[in-house]
Amino acid sequence: MASPIARVVSRAPVATCGTDAGYQRHRADGEPACPDCCAAHAAVNASRRARLAPEHPLQYRAALDGREPAEALTTADRARLVAELVARGWDVQRIAAHTRQTTYTTARIRDRLVAAGVTTPNLEERTA
C-alpha cells in the first residue's frame, strides 16, 4: 500500500470552476454545472466546431459568399462562418448583414469564439 504522502502526491488536481475540467467534474458529481463552467464548456465546444471542415461545404460556400443566409447552416458551420468573417477583420454589424443574422446572434457566436481563443479557422483544411 502506498504511503499517505504518495497518495496525496499522486492524486489528480481538483478541477477548478470556470474550466472545461470543472464542467466535467460537475457532471461526474451528478450536479448541474455552474455558469462559469458552462461558459468554459461552451467555449471549448465552439473551438472544436470552428476547427473542423464545413459539414455542408456547398451551403457553407453559398453563405460565405452572401448568397444564402447563415440560418441555412448547421450550428457548427455557422460558428465556422463567423470565425472566418471575423478573421477577415469584419465587425459584428458587417457580419450580421452579410449572413442575415441578427447582431445579437452574431455577437453571441463571435464572443464564444473569442472566449475559446478562436480567431481564425483552420485554412489548411478548407477545400478551394
Binding region for Zn ion (CB under 5 A): 17, 22, 34, 37
CB of 32 to Zn ion, least distance (A): 9
For 109, phi and psi rounded to 5 degrees? -65, -45
Residue 30 beta carbon to Zn ion: minimum distance, rounded to whole angstroms: 14
Shortest Cβ 39–Zn ion spacing (Å):
10
Size of the chain in residues: 128
Cβ closest to Zn ion, residue 21 vs residue 52:
21
- Angle made by CA atoms 74, 46, 92, in degrees to the nearest 5: 80
Residue 32 vs 66, nearer CB to Zn ion: 32
CA 121/CA 58 separation, integer angstroms: 17
CA-CA distances (angstroms) from residue 119 to 41, 43, 59, 81, 123? 18, 12, 22, 12, 12
Cβ of residue 123: shortest distance to Zn ion, in angstroms?
34
